[in-house]
Structure 1
Amino acid sequence: MYRNDEITRNIDWMTVILYMACVMMGWLNVFAAVYSPEDHTSIFDFSNNAGKQLMWIGTSVILIICILVIHHRFYDSFAYIFYGIMILLLLLVLVAGTNINGSRSWFKFGAVSIQPAEFAKVATSLALARFLDAPGINLTKRKDLMYIAGIIGLPAMLIIASNETGSTLVFASFVIMLYREGLPGFIPAIGIAAAALLILSLIVPKLYIFLAIAVLALIVIWMLPRYNRTPTNILSISLIGLIMMGVVTGVDFFVNDVLQKHQRNRIKVLIDPNIDPLGVGWNVTQAKIAIGSGRLHGKGFLEGTQTKFDFVPEQSTDFIFCTIGEEHGFVGSAIVVAIFIGLLCRLIFLAERQRSKFSRVYGYCVAGIIFFHVMVNIGMTIGIMPVIGIPLPFFSYGGSSLWSFTILLFIFLKLDSRRTSMFARG
């Protein structure tokens, strides 16, 4: 057994301080995003998003206390149960959920809306940590890879069925953890190559890509040692080249017949931001104008004109970084990015010092998820990532987002605090 004072003594306070900085800066910027001299003048006005966010922050404190008080073995022992409950909720939301902005992924309780997809990341992280912690698991075995693909793929498919593409793509962040735990490097390399081919196929004429693949295959064959230049190896390399050509050929079908119209538009805007600045490119165009107008030091707190006149949609949620850039400029934006980099570096450091594989795997899941959210969210506001609608951790308005990231982070801090206690006892 252990005393409760050990929890506060051994918890990593540097991470807690970074968390608090993100949450408080997020709250101030949510207020700036909804501020109006005529309608909303108080940050404590519970009729606007800033006031509501304060309530979510308060309830997050209660969640933190509960997480830290519960015994650390609880998260390991009940990992699969959490996962099973989350799968049931994802199934239930498809039937009984409320449709918000074209996505049936919300449970609505009066004025409060909860999105199970946000919490699915926590449950999946725990389930993966529990599975990989089992004896004999090896990421080079096909059977184990299939189990892992099932753990990740099942909630991802249910989320995409509710038309939440952005939340589904976040599950790709688990590749970071899997690579750390021994996933063969060629698997993520294939994914990166497929994404690169997709983008190139939309920019470069396909004939040029075919020629480049053929030349590359010939170079690889020529560079093989003579004793490895067997008919089998030559056939394998040629087959890979043909598969790559097949992927390029199928891009048009994928983009035009598989993707929905708004998804096609987002890819087109990513490739050519000026394709339709008053239509499909409006969000990205206005976001870049807002961030650029902040220049070095910004226009000042509550002085953002792009923000005040609602030029950027979803200003307090998905595009909260626009408010940061406009009102606090390059300096403020750099500080926010530096805080996230510091948080991610700290999480990796904590994960590496864990004495149990369960804690290490879970820690890398936390770092991977936060990294993916930050990279994509900030990237889409400056036009280097497609607009897929995922929040900026701890900054964007929303109870489900804040709760899920708080739970995700503090479960790991609980596991880490127990590690340091065990180490101290030697």
Structure 2
Amino acid sequence: MARRISIWKYIDKYLLVLYLILLLGGFLTIYSSSYDGSISVDKFWGSSTGKQLVWVIVSIFLGFIVLLIEGSFIHNSSYIVYIIVLLLLVGVLFMPAIKGAKSWFQFGSFSIQPSETAKLSCSLAFARYLSSINVKFQDFKTRLSVVVLLSLPAFLIVLQPDPGTMLVFISFIFVMYREGLSGNILLIGLFAIIVTVIGVFLKASETSFDLFGANFSGNILFGMVLLLISIITFFIIKFFVLPRYRKEKFYRLAIVTVIGIVISLGVNHVYDNVFKDRHRNRFQIMFGIKEDRTGDGYNIYQALSAIGSGETTGKGYLKGTLSNDKYKHVPEQSTDFIFCSWAEEWGFIGSLLFIIVYLATLIRIVMLCERQRSKFTRIFGYCVASILFFHFMINIGMVTGLAPVIGIPLPFFSKGGSAILTFSLLIFILLRLDAERKVVLR
């Protein structure tokens, strides 16, 4: 009992309060987005908002149960949780499709989405493996094992298909960098992303050039430019870099050149043969190449009009119209586009306050990570921060038209039981592990 009292004493109150603020703000926004002024107590619990409140209560209850569990049990059960979730991801593929995806187990009026819990299981297994004795991230075997560990659930999620959730696994690269991933690899990854974006833009805009009497697509010419730059760089290294450094420079140049050319030339094939018409339309809308206010661009334009209508101070709580489900103006206004409801009712000032609270939460998590003696806790904490940051960045970008619509929920705000439970458990497990930092070294 004395041990548990000391653990409660060391629970980080700042992070707990920030979590509760976000959770309360999220539920009130969901309630407002579906409010029609006529919901009775009897009908409330049968509504989607009532079900969300049940999930909120369950999440908080299970979260406080987690605070009573020994950190050693969490550490030792990491691989077991990972395997169980993998089996669930396999099993869900045999379930009936809902909205075109086999992502849910249905239990009456409630459903569970295993792909959401995969974020938790991978964070635990990832932290457990990298914190093991004699495991160094600089070793090739370790890196390969990490790739396999993350790729298995990601592959199963793609089969559902749920590409939005699969992309969340990219966020683990931030944790890898913190644990020793070379900055050069991170820069190469950034270079690949930039080349991909440029390539998609050139293809989406159908850019072409006439050169030497022949017509070249934008990506073909882009690949030629990259090759020319690489050749020039090769001679610069050869004549201006000391001999003992040349081999390493040539090696990096070769990798960057191959990646750049393969991506620039491969974008054409992927864009034409892999992407569907709706994907191509969304890219064209995102890049401002065309407008489609009644088709694939409908969600974005409606979302922007709802956000803009809030102006500086907003319309007030329960006074939103464009983002209210009753008027059917913004699709998915309580899930992927929940930020529209908040922005319409609280305006620019309220939106800025939300961003400040969310960033404060991320900063607090990082502060908790950096004060750990336990490598397992530090790595798990960075997994939590990276996942939340990725969700926040993509969702806000998606709603404001800066990123394509890929179905990424806003943590603690978007409606969805599996998501709110997963994000809550991530926070509470971190709180539990952090609370024992002064008495346990793992």
Matches within 5 A, 1:63-74: 63-74=62-73
Could you tell me which of 198, 209, 220 is aligned with 2:222? 209
Identity of aligned residues (%): 38
Q: Secondary structure at the match of 1:105?
A: coil
Change beyond 3 A, Cα 1:247–1:65? same
State the one-letter code of the partner of 1:56.
W
The 2-side partners of 1:178 and 1:69 are apart by: 30
**Secondary structure of residue in 1 paired with 2:404:** coil
1:277 to 2:256 alignment: no
1:288 match? 304
Return the alpha-carbon distance in structure 2 between the equivalents of residues 209 and 312 of structure 1: 38
Number of the residue aligned with 1:11: 11
2:206 matched residue in structure 1: none
Select the residue among 171, 174, 199 that pairs with 2:172. 174
Equivalenced residues, count: 421
2:416 aligned partner, one-letter code: G
Q: Which residue pairs with 1:299 in the alignment?
A: 315
The alignment yields a C-alpha RMSD, in angstroms, of: 2.2
Question: What is the rounded CA distance, in whole Å, between the counterparts of 1:277 and 1:154 in structure 2?
Answer: 38
Find the residue that maps to 2:295 and give its secondary structure.
coil
* Deviation for aligned residue 1:303: 1.6
**Is it true that 1:345 corresponds to 2:363 in the alignment?**
yes
Aligned to 1:225: 241
**How many Å separate the matches in 1 of 2:433 and 2:201?**
47
Match of 2:133 in 1: 135
| Contact 1:34/1:50 (<8 A) preserved | yes
Contact 2:97 2:103 in 1 (8 A): yes
Letter of the 2:179 counterpart: E
Structure 1 stretch displaced more, 72-81 or 270-279: 270-279
Q: 2:254 & 2:380 partners in 1: Cα distance? A: 40
1:251 aligned to which of 255, 258, 267: 267
1:414–1:296: structure 2 CA closer, same or farther, 3 Å change rule? Answer: same
Shift in Å, 1:385: 1.2
The TM-score with structure 2 as length reference comes to 0.90
In structure 2, what is the equivalent of residue 165 of structure 1?
163
SS in 2 for 1:35: coil
Q: 2-side partners of 1:76 and 1:238: how far apart?
A: 42
Range with greater deviation from structure 2 (21-30 or 48-57)? 48-57
| CA 1:238–1:16: 2 relative to 1, 3 Å | closer
Q: Could you tell me which runs of 5 or more consecutive residues in structure 2 were left unpaired when the two chains were aligned.
A: 203-217
Q: How does 1:20-419 map to 2 (within 5 A)?
A: 20-37=20-37, 39-40=38-39, 45-95=44-94, 97-204=95-202, 205-221=218-234, 222=236, 224-227=240-243, 237=253, 240-272=256-288, 274-308=290-324, 309-419=327-437
Question: Alpha-carbon deviation of 1:421?
Answer: 4.4
In 2, distance between residues paired with 1:375 and 1:355?
30
The answer to whether the Cα contact below 8 Å between 1:270 and 1:383 also exists between their aligned partners in 2 is: yes
Deviates further, 233-242 or 171-180: 233-242
Tell me, what secondary structure is at the counterpart of 1:108?
Answer: strand
Secondary structure of the 2:106 match is strand
List structure 1 segments (4+ residues) > 4 angstroms apart after TM superposition. 41-44, 228-236
Give the letter aligned to residue 89 of structure 2.
Answer: L
Deviation at 1:58, TM superposition (A): 1.2
Change (3 A) 1:243 1:413: closer
CA gap of 1:157–1:302, structure 2 versus 1, over 3 A, is same
